[in-house]
Chain A
C-alpha cells in the first residue's frame, strides 16, 4: 500500500502558524478535560442526591428518581446531546437568549449538561446499590440513637456507601472521559475533533490518530492509578475488600 510515514508532521506549524499540529491535539486534550472534570463533579453531586432519593421511604420521591434514571439510561448519549443542543433552547422559555451566545459556548454548555446528566444516572444507580448493600442494622442503629432520617443518611449511610462504591466509580470516571468524545459530533473541539481536523489538514491519518489513542490510554491509566489511591485511603475496616 505504501503509506508514507511522517511523524515530523506533528511538529510542523499549522497553516495559521500560531502553533503546531501537536499543539492542536493538546488543545483538544485540554478541552476534553475541561468538559469532563466539571461534568464528573456535578454528576457525582446530582447522582448521589438522586441515589439517596431512590432509597427513601417516600413512594413519591422514589418514583421521581426512578423515572429520572429510566429516561437518562434508555436514550443514547448522542440523542440526549442533540436534544440539549437543538431541542431544549427552542421549547424552553429563555432559550432564544441562549441561541444568541456564540456557537462554541453553546456546544460546550450542551455537552456539559448532557454528560453531567447522563453520568449522574449511572452514579445514582451505584449510590443506590451502595446504600442497599449496607446491612439494615446500620440504619436501624442510627435511628435508635435518635438521629433523624436525614441525619442518618448524612452521617451514617452515605459515608459508608460512598466508601464502598469507590471501585465501581473508577470505571464511571474513565467512562465520562471516553463519553466526552461524543461531543465532537456537536463541533466541540475536544481530542477526537482536533484529531479529525489534523487528519484533514495533513492527509496523514495514522500519526495523529495513534497519538490520540495513546493520549486516551494515558488518561485512562492515570484515572485508574488515582482512583486506586482514593480506594486505599477510604477503605472501611471490617468490610469485604479492606486490609485485614
Chain B
C-alpha cells in the first residue's frame, strides 16, 4: 500500500515551528558573534610574537577540529551546568541547556573562525602594517584601524559561508532536546503521527533558507571581487 501524504498538521503547527526557528536563529547569532570575537582573539594569539600564545591557538584549533561537534556539545552538557550551578548557586532544577548549547557552539565555531580570520589577516599586504607603524601607530591601533577592517572585508564571504554552516549545525542541539526548529518539527511529527511530512517540511525549509543565503553570499563575493580590481 502506498503512503498517503497528509500535510494538514503543518498549518496548525506553524506558530510553534516559528518559535523553534526563532530559537535556532538566536543560537546561530549568539554562536557567530561569540565565535567570531573569540576566533579573532585566537587568530591574534597565533600571529603574535609570543610563542606560548601561538601554541595555545594551535592546540585549541587542533583539539576542537579533531572531535565531532556532538561530542563537544556532550562535554558542555556535562561541564557547564555544574559550573553555572556552583558559581551562581542555582538550584538543580534551573534549565541550563540553552546556555550550555550556546557556550559549546561558540567555543567550537571559534576554532573554525580563528583559522578564517588568520588567513584574512595574512592576506593584508605587509606594506599596510609597515605604513601604519611608520605613522607611529601602536600594535593595537595597527590591528584595530588598519589590518582588521581590511581583513574582514576580504574574508566576508568565508565568514558568511561558515555562518550558514553554523545555522545548519544548530540542528544538532537535538541531543539536548532544546525546542529549536528541527526538534520542534520532529516532536510535532511524532505527536500527530505525521513524521514523514514534518521531516520533509523541515528539510525544505532548511534548503530554501540555506540556498538563498548561499546565493546572496555568492553575489557579495562577485561584487567584492569586481570592486577590488
Query: Hey, which bits of chain A sit against chain B, CB under 8 A?
Result: 1, 70-71, 73-80, 82-83, 86-87, 90-91, 93, 174, 178-182, 184-185, 192, 195-196, 205-206, 209, 212-213, 216-217, 220-221
Contact = CB atoms under 8 A, between A and B. Distances in A.
B210 interface: yes
Contact of B66 (A90, A174, A184, A192): A174
Contacts, number: 102
Nearest to B167: A76
A40 to B, nearest CB: 15
A185 B199 contact: no
A70 B2 CA distance: 29
Given A75-B168, A83-B203, A178-B68, 14 more contacts: A74-B206, A76-B168, A79-B202, A82-B199, A86-B196, A86-B199, A91-B5, A91-B196, A179-B68, A184-B175, A185-B175, A192-B70, A195-B71, A217-B63
B211 interface: yes
A221 B66 contact: yes
9 contacts: A78-B174, A80-B203, A83-B200, A91-B3, A91-B196, A174-B65, A206-B78, A216-B68, A220-B66
Nearest to B168: A76
A206 B82 CA distance: 13
A78 B199 contact: no
Interface string B65-77: 1111111001100
Interface of B: 2-3, 5, 63, 65-71, 74-75, 78, 82, 86, 168-169, 171-172, 174-175, 182, 186, 195-196, 199-200, 202-203, 206-207, 210-211, 214
A76 B182 contact: yes
Question: Which secondary structure characterizes the binding site on chain A?
Answer: helix
A209 B182 contact: no
Contacts of B199: 79, 82-83, 86-87
Given A71-B207, A75-B207, A76-B171, A181 B200 contact: no
Contact of B196 (A1, A90, A180, A217): A90
B200 to A, nearest CB: 6
Contacts of A80: 203
B129 to A, nearest CB: 26
B67 A178 contact: yes
B66 A216 contact: yes
Contacts of B174: 78, 185
A213 B71 contact: yes
Contacts of B195: 86-87
Contact of A192 (B65, B71, B78): B71
Nearest to A180: B68
A178 B70 CA distance: 9
Contacts of B74: 192, 195-196, 209
B194 to A, nearest CB: 11
